[in-house]
Amino acid sequence: MQYKTVRNSGSDEFTEQRSRFIGYVCPVKTESEALAFINEKKKIHWDARHNVYAYVLRESGIQRYSDDGEPHGTAGVPVLDIIVKSGITDVVVVVTRYFGGILLGTGGLVRAYTKGASIALKAGNIITMQSCNICTLSCDYTRYGRLSGLIPAFGGVIDSTDFGADVTLNFHIAPENYNAFSKQLAELTCGSITAEITDEKFFEMSSDDE
């Protein structure tokens, strides 16, 4: 299972017909986090004509937007559309507008807020999150080198290594790679070592995986 989100908060801006548009983005998990980010930008830009926003949350399926005084359908909807069509979730976008005195018209507003949302998402660095099995295995020191190399060979990532009487490797690996990894592990150790799945969690995919 995979989904796309943004790695970090970010912003970018542009000017259209003397109106200044600032696009902000932030990764969020809950509606309260999204609203806190929106209110923060509204407080910072209290003197702006509009603080348009939209947010999408993965687990709850919530999608919200606001035109914040712009003509209906010309601001919040385009921002939400960019998020949804990009397949991005767990994100909030705010596009602030300082009015420059020239009316942009319906089409101009849609294009401007679409651009504001697009540059905001780009500034947040779009990433893909992959559901992975969190695993652990223990081996003696003679097998440590070989097994620590086997995990990344199947796309796994070692999260920590504990050196005690034996060596314990804690790692995560994509579910679709787990069976092949387990089979190879069994062959290398004559079935004496197995990897235990302890949990499941989302991790950012590396660029080499995408």
Report, as an integer, the average pLDDT of 49-53.
Answer: 97
Residue 210 has pLDDT above 80, yes or no: no
| Residue range 112-155, pLDDT digits in tens | 999 999 999 999 999 999 999 999 999 999 999 999 999 999 99
Domains and CATH numbers, the chain: 2-124 (3.30.230.30), 128-204 (3.30.70.120)
Is pLDDT of 50 > 60?
yes
Residue-level pLDDT at 100: 93
- Does pLDDT of 42 surpass 50? yes
User: pLDDT band at 205, cuts 50/70/90?
Assistant: confident
Token code pair at residue 121: 């998402």
Instruction: Look over the chain and give the mean of its residue pLDDT values, rounded to a whole number.
Output: 94
Beta strands in the chain (DSSP E): 2-6, 10-16, 19-27, 50-56, 63-66, 91-98, 126-139, 157-163, 167-173, 196-204
Q: Nearest CA to 125 among 11, 21, 33, 36?
A: 11
Q: What percent of the chain has pLDDT over 90?
A: 95
Q: Over the stretch 87-113, which tens digit does the pLDDT of each residue have?
A: 999 999 999 999 999 999 999 999 999
How large is the average pLDDT for residues 43-61? Answer: 96
Per the CB < 8 A criterion, the answer to whether 53 and 79 are in contact is: yes
Cα separation of 22 and 44, whole Å?
Answer: 12
Query: What's the pTM value of the predicted model, to 2 decimals?
Result: 0.84
pLDDT digits (tens, 9 = 90+) for 62-79: 999 999 999 999 999 999
Instruction: Indicate the DSSP class of residue 88.
Output: B
pLDDT of residue 1: 85
| Residue 207 clears pLDDT 60, i.e. is over it | no
Mean pLDDT for 55-60 is 95
Inter-residue contact 66 to 97 (CB < 8 Å): no
